[in-house]
Amino acid sequence: MEFSINNERDVLVMKLINYFITQKNYSPIIIHGVDNEIWLENPKEEYRIIRIVTRNIFNNEQYNYDVLRTKHILSQIKRRMLSLSVSTLSILTNVGENLDELNDNEKNYHTLVIENEDDVFNNELFDKYYSDIKNSMTFKEDGMELISKITNGISEKNIRESEKRNSMFKKETPIVTYILVFINILLFIITGLMSHNLSSIDSNTLYRFGGLTSNTTEYYRLITSAFLHVGFYHIFCNMYALLVVGPQVEQFFGRKKYILIYLLSAIMGSLFVVVFTKSNIVSVGASGAIFGLFGAIVYFGYNYRGYIGNLLLNQMIPAIAINLFISFLSPFISAPAHIGGLVGGYIVSLALGADLDEDRSQKISGMIVFIILTAFMIYMGFLR
C-alpha cells in the first residue's frame, strides 16, 4: 500500500485507513487492476468491506461507472467467499461539483462522500457503527510526524498479524492425531482377534465392543462406535483421511479444542445414524468424526482466508462434496453419519473458535445452536 502525501485529503485518507486497520481489525484485500482505491475486509463488522476511493469522480457518469465496476468486483468476491451478499461501504474522498445526490438505496451497498474530518464526525452512519472514530482520528502530531506515527501504527499491526500467522503455521508434532490413530488401530486388532477374522469383523463382535444400531438405548454407543471398524479397507481409508486432515485441525484449533471437535462430531454423526437410519445394521467407523474435521476446516478456511488464503477451502469443498456423493451411492456407507459429523464439526468449531481473537457473541451463538441441535436429535432418537 503506497501513498503520496500531498495535501489534507491525503492525510484524511491515511487517518481513515489507520482507523479501520488498527482499531477495527480490517485487513487489506488485493484487487488486481484497480488504482487509487483501497479495499479492506473484516467479516465481523457491520460493513464487511470498506472501500476508500482517492481518485476524482467529477460527475454522475463517472459515479455510475464506478458503482457498476465496483459491483462487478464484488460479484467476484462473493463467489470467492461463497457468500450471497457482502455488505460494502464505499467512501469517496475526492468528488467534483457536478456530482448530484448519490443513488444509495441498495441494502448491502452504501456510498459516502467524505472530503474532510468534519464530514466524518458529523456523519450519522459513522456515528452509528463507528462511534469511536473521532477519538481515533484525533492526533497531537501533524505534518511528517503525524504521517510517521500513522505509518508505524499500521506497520505494528501488520507485524502482530504476521506473528499470529507464523505461530499458527509453526510445525508441531500432531500428538493427538497419532493417539487417535493408535486407539483406532488397537481396537481394530483386538476386535479382529476376537472375531478370528481381521479382514471382515463380524457384527456380533462389533456390537459387543460398542457398535451402534438405530434402535439403541445405550448412549455410550454414540461415541464407542466411532472407534471401531469392519475391515482393513475401512480402517485404512479412515486412518489415511485422519492423518491428512487431523494435523491441520490440531494446528489451527489447538489440541484441547481438536479433541472436542473430534468427539462431539462423532457423537453428532452417531445421532444422525440413530434418527435417520431405518435398518438395524451395526454401524461403526470414524468417518463421522473425520467429516467433523472437514467441517472445522471449512469454518476456518471461510473465516480466516487472510491466514490461509482460498486454496485450502477451494480444495476442501469439492473433496467433501465428492465424498458425500459417494456416501449416497453406496449402501455400505452411512451418509447420515457423514452429514451429521460435518454439521456437528462446523457448529462446534463456531462455538469454540480457533486460537485467535474472535467475537464472543459468535461463540455463544454456536454453543446455543449445538445444544439445541443435540437436544433435538436425542429427543428424536431416544425419547420420542
Residue 229 grid coordinates: 471398524
Residue pair 15/54 in contact (Cβ under 8 Å)? The answer is no
Burial of 19 (0-12, 13-18, 19+ CB in 10 A): buried
pLDDT (tens digit per residue) in 273-298: 999 987 788 999 999 999 999 999 98
Helices (H), the chain: 8-18, 60-81, 117-121, 124-129, 133-136, 143-168, 175-195, 203-208, 221-224, 232-253, 255-276, 287-303, 305-308, 311-329, 335-352, 360-378
Task: State the pLDDT at residue 2.
Answer: 45
Of the CA atoms within 13 Å of residue 77, those in its CB half-sphere come to 21
What are the Cα distances from residue 171, in Å, to 50, 120, 213, 304? 34, 45, 40, 19
Q: In this structure, which amino acid lies at residue 40?
A: L
Return the DSSP state at 283.
B
Task: State the pLDDT at residue 27.
Answer: 84
pLDDT (tens digit per residue) in 324-350: 666 665 555 678 899 999 999 999 999
Residue 325 grid coordinates: 456423493
Task: State the pLDDT at residue 151.
Answer: 81
| 258-262-267 Cα angle (round to 5) | 145
Instruction: Give the active site residues.
Output: 287, 338
Task: State the pLDDT at residue 6.
Answer: 52
- Per the listing, cell 448491502 goes with 108
Residue pair 180/246 in contact (Cβ under 8 Å)? The answer is yes
Q: Give the Cα separation of 30 and 76 in Å (integer).
A: 13
Residue pair 373/362 in contact (Cβ under 8 Å)? The answer is no
Q: Give the Cα separation of 352 and 3 in Å (integer).
A: 40
Sheet holding 109-113, edge to edge: 27-29, 37-41, 49-53, 88-92, 109-113
Find the largest Cα–Cα distance for the chain: 88
Distance between alpha carbon 184 and the CA centroid of its chain, in Å?
Answer: 29
Q: In this structure, which amino acid lies at residue 290?
A: I
CB atoms within 10 A of CB 360: 9
Which has the closest alpha carbon to 346: 305, 267, 291?
A: 291
Strand partners, 110: 89
Residue 226 grid coordinates: 466411532
Q: Give the Cα separation of 200 and 257 in Å (integer).
A: 34
First-to-final CA distance of the chain: 60
Task: State the pLDDT at residue 46.
Answer: 87
Say what the pTM is.
0.72
What are the Cα distances from residue 26, in Å, to 6, 83, 147, 158? 25, 18, 20, 11
Q: In this structure, which amino acid lies at residue 270?
A: S
Q: Which residues of the chain have pLDDT under 70?
A: 1-7, 80-82, 101, 103-105, 162-170, 305-319, 322-333, 355-359
Task: State the pLDDT at residue 308.
Answer: 59
Q: Give the Cα separation of 338 and 287 in Å (integer).
A: 6
Which has the closest alpha carbon to 327: 319, 318, 336?
A: 336
